[in-house]
Each structure stands twice: as C-alpha cells, then as structure tokens.
Chain A
Amino acid sequence: MQAHKPLALALLLSAAGLSAAPIDDPEGEKSGGEATVFATGRNAFSFPAANLTDAERTRFVIGNSFFKRNWVEAPSSTTARDGLGPHFIARSCGGCHVSDGRGEPPKPGDQPVSLLLRLSVPGVGAHGGVVPEPTYGDQFDNFAVQKVKPEGRVVITHVEVKGRFADGTPYTLKQPRYAFADLGYGPMARDVLVSPRVAPQIIGVGLLEAIAETDILANAREQAVAGGPVRGVPNRVWDAPSGRMMLGRFGWKANVATIAHQTAGAFNGDIGITSGVFPDEACTAAQRDCLAAPSGDQRQGAPGREPEIDARTLGDVVFYQATLAPPARRNVDDPRVRQGRQLFAQAQCATCHRPDYVTTAGPNPRFSSPALNGQRIHPYTDLLLHDMGEGLADGRPDGQANGRQWKTPPLWGVGLIKDVNGHTRLLHDGRANGVLEAILWHGGEAEASRDRVLKMDKAQRAALVKFVESL
C-alpha cells in the first residue's frame, strides 16, 4: 500500500491543474515538444520541426526559398519574383526577419529596415480595426521603386530614463521618440498615431497557432479571478484569409490571428507583393505615382488582376514559417539557471509568461503539419494583452488593444538572438538592450513583478537573466 502514495499524489497534483512536469523532460528542455531542434549558432532559428515527414521537409525548403529571396521591380525577366513595391520596407521576408530571427532598431543615421512604423488616425475602421492615416496608409514605407517617391525618412531620437536598483546600482534606459522627415506626399494628419514594431523571431509560430483558444481564454479568466493587478485580455481581430473574426495571437498587439494573414499582410505592406488575400497594392488615393507604377502581374498587360504571388507559393511560405522549430533550452542543469527559474516564478513573471501548453490541431491544416499537434510546448506567453504602463505605451489602439496594452511576447529563443542576429535588442521596438533592461521597462500590470526584480541583489538578477537566456 505504501508504494501507491506517490502515484496518488501525482494524480492529485494533476487534478488540481498544477502543471506536473513530464518525467522525461522535467526542465522543459524541449521547448517545442517533439518538434524541438537541438540547435545553437547562426542557424539556430532556421531548422524545420524535428518531427516533420520528408514531403513536409521538401515543402519547408521551397517555402524558405521564397522567404529569403529578394523580390525585384517589375517588369523583369525574373517573373517568378517580380512585383516589388511600389512602396516597400524590405525586398524579402528575410530582410527583416534575418535568418528567421529578430530585427533591431537602425544604427544612428541609418533608416530602419526591420523596425516598422504603423500609422493610423483615431477611430474604428472596418471589422473593428484601425483607420489608416489618409495619405500614408497604415504603415510607413521608407523605400520605393524607381519613379515612385519613398514615403519619407524616419527620425529617431532618444530620451534617457534613469533609475536605481534597491541595492543602489544605477541604471539608464533609452526611450526612443519617433518623427518623420522628407515626407513624400505632404504632411501627415495632425492626429496621426504611430506605433513602432520590430520584427520578432519566427520560431514556433505554428505551435502558437495550435494552442487551444480555450487555453488562452482560461489564462484571462484565471488572471481575473486571482484579483491582482494582472488582468490580461484577448484581442479579437479580422482574419482576411478565412473572412472571420478570430482570437489575435501574432503581432505585438495580438493584432493578427493567423500566420496566413500575417504573411499575406507583410507581403503586401512590407514588400509590396499582392496576393489573393490582399489583391491591391498598398497605395493610397493621394499617391498617384504609386498607383501608376507597373505591376508584377503574372499575366502582363492586365494590371491588378493576377496576384504577384500565387496561392500555392504563398501557402508554401506560410507552411515554412509554421514549421520553423523552436530550439531546445540550453544549460538547464546549471545551478544559476535553476535559481533563476525559481526567481522567475517568485516574481510572478510566469503569470503572463506562461510556460506550458499542450497543442491541439491548428486552424489552417493546409499550411501546417499534424506533427505540431499534441506537443507539450514551453513558449512562455499567455498570448493576452496587458497594460504595460506609460513608459512603453504607444498610444495607438489596434483592434481591441488600447494604447497602453501589449501582447505578452513568447520568450522561447530569446537567449539565442545573440547567436543568430548578433544583438540582444528586445521589446516591441528593440529599445531594451538585453533581458534586464526589458524587465526594467515593464510597468502597468507588470509593475509589481518589476519591483521584485529591483529588490533582487546582483547575483539574483544575474541568475534571473541567465534563466531567461536559457530559453
């Protein structure tokens, strides 16, 4: 009889909803379950899910080729990839998501590439979305093809924000301010709202898409019931490919529901490539040169009727991203990493950066793999919106997100950004240099957690950072 006690206890724990770690992976080393790859270095974010079939691997590499290859101006002999612009930010997906990794703010004096500025004016647009800025649309494109004016230049300045840890150690953060110069089409609306968004690492997005909506809504309910300051809420947004409102999961404000929508939207807005989902170039009525520019229409001579990327290729690019694998955690047995894991829990970070889920079937089986279903994953996000305080606020609502709310970003892969992209810039506009700065920017609902970190001593702070960097 004695022998049965541990079993009974285990059952009790799981019945109580406490996440009992599986015996074969107690530290959650396999971030993406069986999809996980054990990879570091420059290619760490570029591997397909480890458990794909051969046919899926082939589709993955074909999607990848269209993800990283440059699109060229139409007309061109490279008809498979012409149609760049008229306005654009990058020539390829990989231009911003370098090596499937994270973008960064521009160096002083340079124009941003992997940092996008979203634009709108106050009000509610179609499907509860934003009202685009009347002349420049819903994003600022600082490049253009020949004979078309770029929309202008982005000017970034910084204000220093100083503070101290409880042990007296001072710190300085840099708060960016965004402005525009050399505007190609005259002044913007006086009440324009601007939101900076840096390109995130793409690993594991197919697994995030496969988290059950009920699990995400349960996060919101549990946080509300707890009665504390943390009260995450879901975004609900229009999903153009399926033509319905859905739970938002992607984008810094959970402003996109599916990888398919995100991909078609980025092709259109960032590269200037039309698709069946977004068949019109993103030119506003005031941008006559943009409207008149040649199209990369695959049936030359009938502009605007055939999309510049065909449905099959678009699907392959979506599939590619959906099946990019999260790399495994590193150094899970390092005592400092273990200590940091405890501190992470003690500071209530895990309330929003929820570690575990078991995935279900995602919404778009045609652009994903059954291999992603039923995996125990560790993304460290609740996929909910949270008021993050005035310091981070962009003041620009997006769907049901208000101007102070941001979606909890997944933390998997954060420690490998340095390997892949050679920098450690974090948060929605890359303002934070490293994990600790990112924590210090947390305000609003996360203020109490940040204050706990402020009270940690140097060794504890280092352990906490080391844990997050092991993800």
Chain B
Amino acid sequence: MKKLILALAISTTLSAQPALAADHDVGPVLRHYAGLVYANYVDAVSGARGLQRAIDAFLAHPSAETQEAARKAWRVAREFYGQTEAFRFYGGPIDGEQGPEPRINAWPMDESYVDGVQGRPEAGLINDPRFVINRDNVIAQNERGGEENIASGWHAIEFLLWGQDLNADGAGARPYTDFTTAPHADRRRQYLKVITDLLVDDLTQVAKEWKPGRPFNYRARFEKGGLESLRQVFVGLGSLSRGELAGERMEVALASQDQEDEHSCFSDNTHRDVVNNALGIENVWLGRYRRADGSLLQGPSLKDLVATRDAALADQTSRRIAQSVANAHAIQAPFDREVVGGKDAPGRGRVQATIDSLVLQSKDLVAAANAVGVSKLTLVQP
C-alpha cells in the first residue's frame, strides 16, 4: 500500500504543470508594478500638460520662438509617454474596450486627413470649413474610414508643429505663419488647441485608473488579480518587444526604407521612441523607474519573481533586455536615414541589431512567464 502511495505522489509531481507562483510572491510584484505604472503615467500627464502650456503660449503669440518651444515640449513629453507603452496590449485602461489609445498614439498617420500636404494644400479637416472643429467631432473622425485617418493624438500634434518632413537631413519645417497668415490659420490654431486638450484629458483619465487608494478603479481590481494580472504584465512586455517595437516600428521601415513608415516621422524623433519603448520594458522587468524629478522608484520585480524559480533565466533575460536598450541607444537620428541603404549599410545594421535583441528578449520573456506558471500569452515558446 505504501509503495503505491509513493508511486502516485511521484507521478503527480512529475506530471504537474510548472510550479505556479504563490500569491504571497505575486502580490507585492503586482502592487509595485501598479505603483510604477501610475508614476509613469503621472509623468506622462505632466509632460502633456507642459506641452499644453507651450502650445497655449505658441497659439497666443505665434512666432518661430514659441513654435520651437512647443516642439521642445513635445519631445520632452514623449520621453515619458514612450515608456508607458509597456503597459499596453493586455486590454488595460489604455487600450481596453473603452481605452483611448487609438486617439492618443495611433500611427502611421495619413497627414492629408488633417491638413494640407505638398501638392494638395486644400486637403484635410482643417481646410474643410464644413467640419466644425470641436472635441466630439474630432473624436468621431478619428480612424473613421481607415486606420491611418488619424485625427488626434501625439502624431497629429506633431504634424501640426513640424509639418511634413520633406528634407532628407532634418525634420519637418512648417512655418509658424501657418498659424497666423496662412489660409485657415484660425482653424489650424483651433484644431491644435482641441487635440492638445484632448490628449491631456485622455492621459489624465488613464492615470486615474491606476491611482492608488481608489476602491473601484482598474488598479484595485488588478492588484487582486493574482496570476491573471501577472499574465497581463507579461503579455504587455512580450507584445511590445516583438510585434510592435521590433515588428511594426522597425522591421516594416527596414523593409520599405520609406520615411512614411517611421513612428515619429514629422519630428524625426523616432530614435527616441525606440529607446523609450525598450526602456519601458526594462523598467517593468526590473521594477525600476526613474521619475521625471530624477528620483528612483524601485521594488519587487518580475525579475525577482522569476529568479526564485530560475535564477539563470532571470539573469539572461535581464542581459538581453539591457542589450536591447543599449542597441536602441546606438540607433542614430534621423531614423528615416538610418534605415536606407544596401545590405551593409551601418545604420540598417544598427536597427537590425536592435530588432534581433528584441526578438531574443521576447523569447526569454515567454520562458520567464512559463517559469512562474504563466502560459496563456500571445506567443508560444518555439
């Protein structure tokens, strides 16, 4: 009888799924993750508010100087928003059923949907006086009739601040007079104001869902979600690593060598987008975030959790993620020149190296998730 029991016990152990991470391990990681998400969104909101102030000043007194200040504010704000993209792809507050992501950061953008372009100065909602410019109408037009018909968000603002990027070496060079004497300058001012305010409000709403101490917001549910919440964290990191950042944001541009396929094509800020996405992933993995005020947030991390099951895997994942961040830093601006050239073009090599390390890290992340009992992902271990 004893032998039988022993045999049963052994077979149960052998056939069991990978050990599930225990709740007392997962809870602190989830709570710290939520705090990190909130801190990052708070910085994204304050960046967007800074942009709003700069754009208000520009619209009040349009000049080359106030325009340049607004552009600078846009770049600063993007630093923090870019890192928050590690919190996408699992249907959270940013891109769940009601999530505002499509009107915050949708791209690529058919800029002629919003304003005139070379050869078609009369194009776009701004130049169509029948279109009444207000928040509801802009929201209704966003992605209407096509995923490139982007009416709002970072890239619509970017287009209005910089204009089309028509020269190889620099960013777009929209004259500030587009907001003073050009046809429909009044409508252009009004449009920029509406979409800037919308961006601030949308980001503020997302941040609220992650605010601590609220009994009914997303964070409250998330922190109690156990392994399911942990699964979401991994889905976000893996999806951004492979499909979005390596795939849509780099492989497509590498294949087409087309400026239209770079993420921030008007401002030539794509190299920073890549860095900030890669950094956002590392933040979550290490449970570490450098706030806008310079202070460091640090706490129980995915890495710590994975290390309790497989220390070597945790270290390897950390190295690969760090390598991706380093490779992203090595990409030179402007990105649209970096992707152009033949087989041995050094810029293409730098972009490809970043893609390659992101692909490797996505596999590590799958393995890491599996190690802590999470298998329901958007990737399977090959």
A and B interact: yes
State the A residues within 8 Å of B (CB): 34, 37-44, 47-48, 50-51, 53-54, 57-58, 60-62, 64-65, 68-70, 72, 76-78, 80, 90-92, 94-95, 98-99, 113, 325, 328, 418-419, 422
Whether B235 and A43, one on each chain, are in contact in the complex, defined by CB atoms closer than 8 angstroms, is: no
User: Which one, B206-214, B243-251, B312-320, is touching chain A?
Assistant: B243-251
Closest Cβ of chain B to A65, distance in Å, is: 4
Evaluate whether A57 and B242 lie within 8 angstroms (CB atoms) in the complex, with A39-B235, A51-B380, A98-B147 already known. Answer: yes
Residues of B216-249 contacting chain A, CB below 8 A: 231, 235, 239, 242-243, 247-248
Closest Cβ of chain B to A95, distance in Å, is: 4
Q: How far is the CA of A70 from the CA of B144 in the complex (A)?
A: 12
Q: How far is the CA of A113 from the CA of B146 in the complex (A)?
A: 9
Closest to B355 in A: A58
Task: Report B-chain residues with C-beta under 8 Å of the C-beta of A76.
Answer: 119
Task: Report B-chain residues with C-beta under 8 Å of the C-beta of A53.
Answer: 382
Whether B239 and A47, one on each chain, are in contact in the complex, defined by CB atoms closer than 8 angstroms, is: yes
Q: How many residues of B contact A (CB 8 A)?
A: 44
Whether B252 and A61, one on each chain, are in contact in the complex, defined by CB atoms closer than 8 angstroms, is: yes
Whether A43 and B252, one on each chain, are in contact in the complex, defined by CB atoms closer than 8 angstroms, is: no
Closest to B257 in A: A80
Which of B89, B108, B247 is within 8 Å of A61, CB to CB?
B247
Closest Cβ of chain A to B132, distance in Å, is: 15
Task: Report A-chain residues with C-beta under 8 Å of the C-beta of B255.
Answer: 58, 62
Task: Report B-chain residues with C-beta under 8 Å of the C-beta of A328.
Answer: 376
B contact face: mostly helix, strand, loop, or mixed: loop
Residue of A37, A38, A68 contacting most chain B CB atoms (<10 Å): A38
Q: How far is the CA of A53 from the CA of B119 in the complex (A)?
A: 42
The answer, yes or no, to whether B377 is at the interface (CB within 8 Å) is yes
Closest Cβ of chain A to B355, distance in Å, is: 9
The answer, yes or no, to whether B310 is at the interface (CB within 8 Å) is no
Evaluate whether A54 and B252 lie within 8 angstroms (CB atoms) in the complex, with A38-B377, A47-B243 already known. Answer: no
Evaluate whether A57 and B247 lie within 8 angstroms (CB atoms) in the complex, with A38-B376, A42-B102, A95-B147 already known. Answer: yes
Which 3 residue pairs spanning A and B have beta carbons closest together? A41-B91, A61-B247, A38-B376
Evaluate whether A98 and B143 lie within 8 angstroms (CB atoms) in the complex, with A43-B95, A70-B110 already known. Answer: yes
Task: Report B-chain residues with C-beta under 8 Å of the C-beta of A40.
Answer: 90-91, 96
Task: Report B-chain residues with C-beta under 8 Å of the C-beta of A98.
Answer: 143, 147
Q: How far is the CA of A53 from the CA of B108 in the complex (A)?
A: 26
Closest to A46 in B: B243
Task: Report A-chain residues with C-beta under 8 Å of the C-beta of B119.
Answer: 76-77
Whether A95 and B146, one on each chain, are in contact in the complex, defined by CB atoms closer than 8 angstroms, is: yes
Task: Report B-chain residues with C-beta under 8 Å of the C-beta of A62.
Answer: 251-252, 255-256
Which of A39, A51, A68 is within 8 Å of B147, CB to CB?
A68
Task: Report B-chain residues with C-beta under 8 Å of the C-beta of A60.
Answer: 247
The answer, yes or no, to whether B379 is at the interface (CB within 8 Å) is yes
Closest Cβ of chain B to A105, distance in Å, is: 14
Whether A42 and B101, one on each chain, are in contact in the complex, defined by CB atoms closer than 8 angstroms, is: yes
- Other 19 A-B pairs with CB < 8 A, given A37-B378, A50-B377: A38-B376, A41-B92, A42-B91, A42-B96, A47-B243, A47-B378, A51-B380, A53-B382, A61-B247, A61-B248, A61-B252, A62-B251, A68-B148, A69-B260, A76-B119, A90-B146, A95-B149, A113-B144, A419-B96
The answer, yes or no, to whether B258 is at the interface (CB within 8 Å) is yes
Closest Cβ of chain A to B137, distance in Å, is: 13
Residue of B146, B247, B359 contacting most chain A CB atoms (<10 Å): B146
The answer, yes or no, to whether B99 is at the interface (CB within 8 Å) is yes
Q: How far is the CA of A70 from the CA of B123 in the complex (A)?
A: 15
Whether B148 and A69, one on each chain, are in contact in the complex, defined by CB atoms closer than 8 angstroms, is: yes
Task: Report B-chain residues with C-beta under 8 Å of the C-beta of A325.
Answer: 378
Task: Report B-chain residues with C-beta under 8 Å of the C-beta of A34.
Answer: 380
Residue of A43, A94, A328, A422 contacting most chain B CB atoms (<10 Å): A43
Q: How far is the CA of A43 from the CA of B380 in the complex (A)?
A: 18
Whether B256 and A80, one on each chain, are in contact in the complex, defined by CB atoms closer than 8 angstroms, is: yes
Closest Cβ of chain A to B364, distance in Å, is: 14
Instruction: Convert B135-158 into 0s and 1s, putting 1 for each residue whose CB lies closer than 8 angstroms to a CB of A.
Output: 000000001111111000000000
Instruction: Convert B76-100 into 0s and 1s, putting 1 for each residue whose CB lies closer than 8 angstroms to a CB of A.
Output: 0000000000001111100111010
Task: Report A-chain residues with C-beta under 8 Å of the C-beta of B268.
Answer: none
Closest Cβ of chain A to B246, distance in Å, is: 8
Q: How far is the CA of A48 from the CA of B243 in the complex (A)?
A: 8
Whether A41 and B99, one on each chain, are in contact in the complex, defined by CB atoms closer than 8 angstroms, is: yes
Q: How far is the CA of A57 from the CA of B250 in the complex (A)?
A: 13
Q: How far is the CA of A34 from the CA of B380 in the complex (A)?
A: 8
The answer, yes or no, to whether B261 is at the interface (CB within 8 Å) is yes
Residues of B254-292 contacting chain A, CB below 8 A: 255-256, 258, 260-261
Whether A78 and B243, one on each chain, are in contact in the complex, defined by CB atoms closer than 8 angstroms, is: no
Task: Report A-chain residues with C-beta under 8 Å of the C-beta of B261.
Answer: 65
Evaluate whether A41 and B97 lie within 8 angstroms (CB atoms) in the complex, with A48-B243, A70-B148 already known. Answer: yes
Q: How far is the CA of A325 from the CA of B239 in the complex (A)?
A: 14
Which of B92, B118, B147, B242 is within 8 Å of A99, CB to CB?
B147
Closest Cβ of chain B to A49, distance in Å, is: 9
Q: How far is the CA of A70 from the CA of B146 in the complex (A)?
A: 7
Whether B235 and A58, one on each chain, are in contact in the complex, defined by CB atoms closer than 8 angstroms, is: no
Q: How far is the CA of A61 from the CA of B252 in the complex (A)?
A: 7
Task: Report A-chain residues with C-beta under 8 Å of the C-beta of B231.
Answer: 38
Whether B91 and A44, one on each chain, are in contact in the complex, defined by CB atoms closer than 8 angstroms, is: yes
Q: How far is the CA of A97 from the CA of B3 in the complex (A)?
A: 61
Q: How far is the CA of A418 from the CA of B98 in the complex (A)?
A: 9
Task: Report A-chain residues with C-beta under 8 Å of the C-beta of B380.
Answer: 34, 50-51
Q: How far is the CA of A64 from the CA of B251 in the complex (A)?
A: 11
Closest Cβ of chain A to B240, distance in Å, is: 11
Closest Cβ of chain A to B144, distance in Å, is: 8
